[in-house]
Structure 1
Amino acid sequence: MATVLLVGGAVVLVAALAYGRQAAREAYDRLLVGAATDIAESITIQGSAALVDVPVSAFELLALAPDDRIVYRVLGPDGETLTGYDTAPRPEKAGAISFYDSEFSGEAARYVSLTRRFAERSFSGSVQVIVGQTVQARRQLARDIAQNVLLVLGAAGAAMALFAWLVMQSALRPLPRIGEALRRRDPTDLTPIDQPAPAEIAALIQSLNGFMTRLDRQMTSNRHLIGDAAHQLRTPVAAIRAHAQLAAEEPDFERRAKMVQRIHERAVDLSHLLDQMLNHAMIIHRADTAPRDPVDLRDVAVEAFEANEPNVLASPNAVSLVLPDEPVAIRGDMLSLAEAAKNLLANALSHGRPPVRIGIRNSGQAELWVRDCGEGPPASIRIDPAVRFAGDRAGGGSGLGLAIAHAVADSHGGAIRMTTDDEGFEIAMTLPKDTP
């Protein structure tokens, strides 16, 4: 701010000096023109000669600058000096009125040249009147004008600097409080900052709160992943280890083969559980990092259908794919959307009743829906589809498929909708459509 004021002050100083010089020049140039006009009007023609009777009023005007010296000269049509000082310089280009700078007795002076034309029977031609004056008064007036302007602008600049300092102090005062509040926080405390601040600093606080919200979401996802891994993997790993130990000690071949088959089934379930836990953590991470690109929701349904082809072929009835003719455009993360759709279809194939259908609906919002002929999950799961491992308590599955779909819908500004009617159960992921 000080730099701005100093640069502005320098510009104003130059402008004030230029304005003072211009104003002084115009004021005293008018006096010169007035004096020259008075002299020109006093010229009369007698016989064949021009007579000049210099009026006192001309010198009274120029006497307004008492410290300056005056010079005048009147020239006839032939260039002969009729009266005045022969040393007064003539202009390089004479006109009706011409101003020019020169010297008088070694001092800088300002001159005006005025021409009066006569067309008498006995006298015809132009008479040139030259009046000059030294420039001390002009310089003093220019300094006075510049000084007065600078005094006013200096007072205004000081007031502006004071107000600017007060405004900046008021605007920046919350920053030390915010810094102190952050220093006193526990490293795990990522709650929003609640500090009163003006609009300029409020934008910074909002950005900090948004960043801490995203960071808290990532840390929560990591904590859930670590906690879920510690809690959910311990039992199946212990079971596989126990079955492996029993199989190694079992002498009967048929019983050992059954134990190996059981170990394989447990390993497959564990692998599926690990995949879903990692997918859930990936979805939470991509919610804040993955770019949102234009996506045709029909492509998401097709990818989910193709990814579940092994389950589709193994089911008693084929899955129907219902797609509209026109594209259903949304803006989102294709990988996350496809993962959500795969889990919704896998849940219907595992827990629902055939036939199963997956499709896209283009209504007020874009909808990806999966329908089966069953009754759907219990009310405890419908109340909060974001609960992880709800399927374990409800009797089967990893319990993460619906939580993954809910996380994807929430990160895209959508929601999960579950309805039951005479035709069965439908679960839909509703998403806002992309504006063309």
Structure 2
Amino acid sequence: MSSRLLRIAVAAVIVAGGAGSVTSLAQQAKAPPGGIDTKAPRALIMDAGENLVLFEKDPDTLMVPASMSKLMTLAVVFRELRAGRLKLDDEFKVSEHAWRTGGAPSGTSAMFAPLNTMVKVSDLIQGVTVQSANDGAIILAEGISGTEEEFAKEMTKYAREIGLEQSTFANATGLPVEGHLMTARELGMIARYLITHYPDYYEYFGLHEFKYREKFTFRNRNPLVFDPELAADGLKTGFVKESGYGLTASAKQGDQRLIVVVAGLATPKEREAEAKRLLQWGFKNFKQFRLFDAGEKVSDALVWGGTSHYVPLVGEGDINILLPSAATGAVNATIHYEGPIKAPIKKGAQLATLRITSAESQATNEMPLYAGEDIERSNFLMRGLDSLGCLAFCWIL
């Protein structure tokens, strides 16, 4: 299938596209009909590069996330590192709360940091990513926010800022407590956020082992990182009695990166097998197709009160879409924006969303579109004529 055939099909529909509110990918994406199913009660697989959900199963029901919620814990830690408020060689003290609740006496996953000792931030991060150390998570939380409770509030606040609308956090560990809940979709979203926004720290998730105090060697609890054919490189397992076995994982083959979430499984073997099967299915059945080159005009949006009635819309770099490997090229495409768009308009301003759905899949590709040039504000007379045109013709020009 040539990109030229795709481009013609898309352009014919885009020209007819009108104004409208933008709906999030999370609300639009559905599973390809007859594609695949899973034993997991809740699951999701998405393409990280295209931000496209390929398969989902009960993805929006709040659930106990167990240690998979440590992804949000680490998002806060990485934010503090990026901002310079925290350094990898900083040291935090092991409090009695951290030791009793998440350390050796707790009987939960721990890095066994001794009470009242000082531990480097870099070691604590590895303890969390490799060993899923509850003591490590609490020590980080207390070191950053003073108390685990205050840190959990910061987790929820940060989650809202980056688009996680349902998740709420009551601790740094994922140990069962009222009000500590996430969805499969939002686990996928935070995984993608970590990969795209904190690439310098993402490598911690793929470490095969972590040696601590010359006494312990912890092996990564994510079994997929040891599978060379799959090329998985990280993220987080989870288990408590209330949640069953879960895994949020990512793998990259060539230029394509997929994220998988499975939750509520009965055994560790099921968790590994279902996550691996979903990733293999995604890599086998979907691939990228080029629609527009970087800087190439996709279409125009209507402008009110500007020196031009139209502003060209372009993507950020190349515009690729993800389609089933056997796709014929039949696609439906629309541009969604609130319009007409009021001038002045700055080049590079995000104005619209390009939404494309393949006939072979219900999964929806969504990509932001930006102003391709500056549009200055017109004079009073021209703005008056624009207003009359809008009233008389509803801007179908």
Q: Give the TM-score taking structure 1 as reference length.
A: 0.19
**Whose strand fraction is larger, Structure 1's or Structure 2's?**
2
Q: Give the structure with the higher percent helix.
A: 1
TM-score computed with the length of structure 2 as normaliser: 0.20
Rg larger for: 1
